Chain A
Amino acid sequence: MKPNPLRLPEDRRLARIAGPSSLVIFGVTGDLAFKKLIPAIYDLAAGGLLHPGFSVVGYGRRDWDDEQFRALIKESISAHAREAFSDQVFDTLAGGLRFVEGTFDDDSGFKRLAEVLAELDAERGTAGNHAYYFSIPPSQFPVVTEGLARAGLTKGAHGQWRRVIIEKPFGQDEQSAAELNQTVERVFPAESVFRIDHYLGKETVQNILALRFANSMYEPIWNAHYVDHVQITMAEDIGVGSRAGYYDGIGAARDVIQNHLLQLLALTAMEEPVSLKAEDVRAEKEKVLAAVAPLGHIPTSAARGHYLSGWQGGQHVKGYLEEDGIPQDSRTETYAAIRLEVNNRRWQGAPFYLRAGKRLGRRVTEIAVVFKDAPSHLFPEIKQGQLGQNALVIRVQPDEGVTMRFASKVPGPAMQVRNVTMDFGYGHAFTETSPEAYERLILDVLRGDAPLFPRHREVELSWRILDPVMRYWEEQGQPEGYLPGTWGPASADQLLVRDNRVWRRP
């Protein structure tokens, strides 16, 4: 970036604002656009973080005109934005809202898009800077990128930028991820491709870096010498519902372990980066993902299941195979757990257990670092197993915060100890509502700042960890069933019992 005399390095009050630009959303008619993207853009505008000429172009197959599009957007903002609705903010934004009707394989649609973008450059000063958000199935990526290329929309003149934002899934295995990557990177250079993993935009996830590296009391014990093992859990209490069509054939491992959970593992296990710049953080994440040992014997280091019908929390729910659009012989798992070892000096001997599933006990995502037992000669409770292990739990969602579990003396004449918790809640220490993950991520794309976006190499390494498991499961029959509202199938418990451990109840 060129020097700016008004930006003194020590002046930390000045926020960075996105320069003149527009965001083109493909698949704007979907849920994601109206529930997350548009509200996030509004919140950014209300915070004064966007250029006043910032424009949003929707591209889709409806015959909406700009007015209808504006009305729908207004509705979405009133319903989902974090900030209260203000006419002034909306009016500024509304001036730059456009809708272009077209299909993905229709050159005339892309031609109209090119005209609208040129018009925005002139009227709204978007200066030839355009970001394309692909809120569409990956199978459509090549169609859209080529459509953009034919309309001359993929390359800007000198000083202008074109960026593309894609969402998971980044392929179904290492090979398809590579193919997908090629179709996008054939048209856009690697540094212009932003892969959104919205987990990385969450405050609690970014806080892992702060907790570990802004403090001095955790890092000395953050290794296998003190840590017994780490459990990373992402549980949902809902079923697949309306996502059934997408979910079947994908399953829990591909849906969330490959991206969210392995990213959480990388942030928890990585070494201290040289700086917080994108390339330095990425280098450490890649190193630790590459150090994850290939799974030895898959039946004893991975478990899967799908939910059965039954009563969950006061209502009867359908089993996975009874959900609309799921074939009776589906072998897709709705619960997956794997045991991983990180082959480096820091983690040798302390395994990472990852689990993700639907229709589990409650909705929770957390990272639990479980410590080894203290010597037990002073306190018989330790030997008798009455005292759980010390644990440091990073609660990613909901009720964001950090909990520490440790033993304390029970008041009274006898020396008796019991586990207690010490708690830090974001809601207590920072009561202001935290920005939504998408706000941070969209702003980063517009500013060209990429510390929170995985590059293709990370995607590739994650698939390399998961691929053998997926191949093995494909050869097996249907997954084991588990009752809704429980914590997964019995084989998942066995996974830890074999190591003489148990899953925490999150």
Chain B
Amino acid sequence: MIIELNDTTSTQIQKRLIQAREEGGAVALGRVLTFLIHTDGAKEEKVIQAANDASREHPMRIVVISEPASDSDTPGLDAEIRLGGDAGASEVVILRPTGQGDNYLAGLVNGLLLPDAPVVTWWPDQCPDCMADTELGQISQRRILDSLEMGSGLHGLESVAKGYRPGDTDLAWSRITGWRTQLAATLDYLDVTRVDSARVAGVPDNPSVMLLAGWLGLTLGHDVSVDATAPMGIGGVHEVVLVTDGGEVRLTREDDHTVELSVPNQPDFSLFLPRRPLASLLAEELRRLAPDTVYGDVLTGGLRWVRRAD
């Protein structure tokens, strides 16, 4: 069900939501959080789709705030409510304020936040200097950006690090959870007492490559070299090598679904480690709402261990 509301207010939106629930029995039971999405509007449908998919694991109210077009001048608010089949396991409210700078964002969404439930804000296509200082950031327990959108690798991460506050997180960080899990699991069972050196190969503009190297630097406590080579078609991390006292551990991406694992004294394995869609990354971010201090430490301390090989 899609309900269009033109020239409206958040009070009217709320009323309409309650009315729709009573009429259609659209259940609003057990929503676990409010998910705010602040977007410039270009990728609106794509991000709503991803959030809807993530809501299958975390039923939530999704509130999308679409920035007004640059030529919009009459101040006001248009909105759209999506329920039931059009909203996955969530309810979606899209707010389209009009006019320039007349709408105060926190005032716009406050009436639509679920009582007591945590608030998470996602900036899918922009990276505020400091997420926690933005109007929406101030009312959120958790703030998500995607530094890949900036396309400037280590340099971009430095500016993200400057604005870092506990509770911030980055989809570039969730993209490497699979790599990190496999590396940690491999060291769990190998007969290894120390890791002498580590190197990462991949596209240097990709912040995930840098974060992975930074994480290794932080946990191992020594320099990690980043080799800026990746074969065509490999967009992010290409390879990680750990040199240990028991031999070399190597993970190499072969294609979008598989990674080859090579460890001492064992045959090589093909690991199923697919590149993950946006929805799966979001679902991971929403699983734990306490600040991810490991991410914070990698961002603010781990990156100094990263050495570009070229």
| Residues in A lying within 8 Å of B, measured CB to CB | 1, 4-8, 10-17, 19-20, 45-46, 48, 51-53, 88-89, 92, 123-125, 127, 159, 423-425, 428-432
Contacts and interface: CB of A to CB of B under 8 A. Distances in A.
Contacts of A127: 189, 266
A82 to B, nearest CB: 14
Interface string B111-144: 0000000000000000000000000000000000
Given A48-B273, A432-B57, A88 B180 contact: no
A159 B191 contact: yes
27 contacts: A5-B219, A6-B183, A6-B216, A6-B219, A7-B184, A12-B288, A14-B180, A14-B181, A17-B185, A20-B189, A48-B181, A51-B185, A51-B189, A52-B270, A52-B272, A88-B272, A123-B267, A124-B267, A125-B263, A125-B269, A127-B266, A429-B32, A430-B57, A431-B57, A431-B59, A432-B56, A432-B57
Interface string B68-95: 0000000000000000000001000000
B177 interface: yes
A17 B191 contact: no
A123 B268 CA distance: 10
Contact of B30 (A19, A46, A429, A432): A429
B192 to A, nearest CB: 9
B284 interface: yes
B89 A431 contact: yes
B185 A429 contact: no
Interface in B234-269: 257-258, 261, 263, 266-267, 269
Give the top 9 A-B pairs by smallest Cβ distance, nearest first: A429-B30, A19-B189, A125-B266, A52-B269, A428-B30, A17-B185, A432-B57, A6-B184, A11-B294
A8 B29 contact: no
B102 interface: no
B220 to A, nearest CB: 6
A10 B257 CA distance: 29
Contacts of A48: 178, 181, 271-273
B184 A4 contact: yes
Interface of B: 27, 29-30, 32, 55-59, 89, 174, 177-178, 180-185, 187-189, 191, 194-195, 216, 219-220, 257-258, 261, 263, 266-267, 269-273, 284, 288, 292-294
Contact of B59 (A8, A88, A429): A429
Contacts of A45: 272
B38 to A, nearest CB: 25
A428 B29 contact: yes
A5 B180 contact: no
Nearest to A3: B193
A9 to B, nearest CB: 10
Given A17-B181, A125-B269, A8 B257 contact: no
Contacts of B89: 431
Given A13-B292, A17-B185, A429-B30, A52 B59 contact: no
B267 A92 contact: no
Nearest to B29: A428
A84 B281 CA distance: 20
B219 A8 contact: yes
A88 B273 CA distance: 10
Contacts of B182: 17
A5 B193 CA distance: 9
Contacts of A1: 188
A92 B30 contact: no
Which among B57, B58, B266 has the highest number of chain A CB atoms within 10 Å?
B266
A480 B305 CA distance: 77
B267 A125 contact: yes
A52 B57 contact: no
A423 B188 contact: no
Given A16-B185, A430-B57, A431-B89, 9 more contacts: A5-B187, A6-B183, A7-B184, A13-B174, A20-B266, A89-B272, A159-B191, A428-B27, A429-B32
A388 B82 CA distance: 40
Contacts of B58: 430
Contacts of A16: 185, 188
A4 B27 CA distance: 46
Nearest to A19: B189
B231 to A, nearest CB: 21
Contacts of A124: 267
Contacts of B294: 8, 10-11, 13
Contacts of A15: 181
